[in-house]
């Protein structure tokens, strides 16, 4: 049975609520970074997290901003702030010895959260095992994209043409293992029937390849 915890992340300058799920015999962590105007309650991120939990990945969804900060539109696009919070949450998770086993950590970022995930991964280097971006805005990460060493999967809807072009440009700059996966007929929010399930499958396969502790006979 999964261990599920609602908790407060004690970061250097703020306390942020989070939801942690630890499946039995977990083989890796996935920390989620939601997009602007969203939160740890994102329906789409929770659907992906549930699919990853079934594949024995522990997940952490948390709010990148306080309620007061989230009312400030500019702060929603403050990628430096969001990336710092994600880095600090990662280090916080590493300190929870009684709660969180020391497994590889990957990031799943959506929209602006993908930019934060890329920036945080660039700063943390080998401490991040893999990155997956859903409908991401890698352009907001600037030249930090060129410093990402974690294997990175960019997932974009085939009908999300402006974001697809932004991801193609970022893909060309990524220096590590990488893949651009296009979900045919999907829009930015992957609301079409079966689209989000494809996202979850692609993400799960990527984390299974790059974010697991040792050999996994059940993979």
| CATH code of the domain made up of 3-210 | 3.40.50.1820
According to DSSP, the β-strands at 15-22 and 28-33 are: unpaired
Q: Which of helix, strand or coil describes residue 63?
A: coil
Nearest alpha carbon to residue 201 among 176, 214, 183, 184: 183
Q: What are 53-108's pLDDT values in tens digits? A: 999 999 999 999 999 998 888 889 999 999 999 999 999 999 887 777 789 999 99
Nearest alpha carbon to residue 130 among 115, 118, 147: 118
Distance from C-alpha of 9 to C-alpha of 92, rounded to nearest angstrom:
7
What are the sequence ranges of the domains in the chain? 3-210
Task: Answer yes or no: is pLDDT of 218 > 50.
Answer: no
Q: What are 100-141's pLDDT values in tens digits? A: 778 999 999 999 999 999 999 999 999 999 999 999 999 999
Other C-beta atoms within 10 Å of 189: how many?
Answer: 17
User: Are the CB atoms for 117 and 131 separated by under 8 Å?
Assistant: yes
Enter the DSSP assignment of 194. Answer: T
Query: What phi and psi values does residue 57 have, to the nearest 5 degrees?
Result: -105, 130
């Amino acid at each position: 049975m999964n261990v599920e915890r609602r908790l407060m992340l004690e970061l250097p300058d703020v306390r942020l609520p989070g939801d942690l799920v630890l499946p039995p015999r977990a083989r890796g962590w996935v920390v989620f970074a939601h997009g602007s105007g969203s939160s740890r309650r994102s329906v789409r991120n929770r659907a992906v997290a549930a699919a990853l939990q079934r594949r024995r990945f522990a997940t952490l969804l948390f709010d990148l901003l306080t309620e007061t900060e989230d009312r400030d539109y500019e702060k929603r696009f403050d990628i430096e702030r969001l990336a710092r919070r994600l880095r600090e949450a990662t280090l916080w998770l590493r300190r929870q010895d009684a709660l969180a086993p020391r497994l590889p950590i990957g990031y799943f970022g959506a929209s602006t959260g993908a930019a934060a995930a890329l920036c945080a991964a660039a700063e943390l280097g080998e401490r991040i095992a893999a990155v997956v971006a859903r409908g991401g805005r890698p352009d907001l990460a600037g030249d930090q994209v060129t410093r990402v060493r974690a294997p990175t999967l960019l997932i974009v809807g085939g009908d999300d043409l402006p974001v697809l072009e932004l991801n193609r440009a970022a893909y060309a700059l990524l220096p590590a293992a990488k893949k651009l996966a296009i979900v045919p007929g999907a829009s930015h929010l992957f609301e079409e029937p079966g689209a989000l399930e494809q996202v979850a499958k692609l993400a799960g396969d990527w984390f299974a390849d790059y974010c697991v502790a040792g050999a996994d006979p059940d993979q």
